[in-house]
Amino acid sequence: MTETIRRPADIFSPITDAVSATKVKYADARAAGRRGYDKPTPQNSIVLLVDHQMGLMLGMRDTQSLGQLVGNVVGLARTAKALGIPTLLTTSNAQWQNEDTLPELKEIFPDLPIYRRTGIINCYEDPTFRKAIEVISEGTGRRHIIIAAVTIGTCCLMPTLSMLNDGYSVYPVIDACGAWSKYEVDAASARMAAAGAELCSTFALACELQADWKLPSGQAMFEPFVKNLPEYGFAVNNFWNRVGGQAVPDPFKMVK
């Protein structure tokens, strides 16, 4: 007879557990010759949403669809809102062909002004917008910049290089940017990574920022995942739709 092997009992981490920080501080890891993990958090970050404008978005060709790109942009915005991360919105030449900011961003942040750049391409080189960044950074100690911009090769790449030069830790969210072509994405990503930027994607970054679903922000963070990541939203809704019984009664009585 084949002996039945019993699995050991499952081990559950206590729900009272909190996130364990790395044992070695970032500065000490760097001093020891390691890359280090300079973790972005809701407490140390600022989000920049740059030039997500109707006229510019129409020309983006690096994603499967424009809807996918808009979903990522809105998902990032909702993440920032849910986690209480200070956010800045800016446009470039909105009075002309670039047109206005995505209406979804205005709806998410109805209380935020939009910084209207009138010619300067690199938003960090615009004195008014840079001042807005510095006011938040110097007032709160936030030095981690999360940036998404249209397009990745100009409005994301250029301020990223500038801010890295000035000592910020920069996290370009590459799937919430948009580009004229895949060549632009590849070239910009290579330059930013070589300069020390930490490239990331929208929902991986959202998980990194949330860190623990038990935190108070966990419930609010379901909104971007459910509404803007359809693959996960389907799983969530499918599960909760079935909790406590069948979603639709079975008239054939086949489901027990």
Compute CA distances 225 → 31, 205, 206, 215, 237, whole Å: 37, 12, 9, 16, 11
Q: What are the E-state strand segments in the chain?
A: 45-50, 87-92, 114-117, 144-149, 169-172
Strands of the 169-172 sheet, one edge to the other = 114-117, 87-92, 45-50, 144-149, 169-172
Contact 91, 191 (CB under 8 A): no
- Strand 144-149 and strand 114-117: pairing? unpaired
Of the residues 155, 156, 177, 200, which is catalytic? Answer: 155
Nearest by Cα to 102 from 57, 154, 159, 59: 57
Neighbour count for residue 116 (Cβ, 10 Å): 17
DSSP at 172: E
207 given a catalytic annotation:
no
Sort 178 into a burial class: Cβ within 10 Å, 0-12 / 13-18 / 19+.
buried
Longest CA span, the chain: 81
- Residues with a catalytic annotation lie at 155
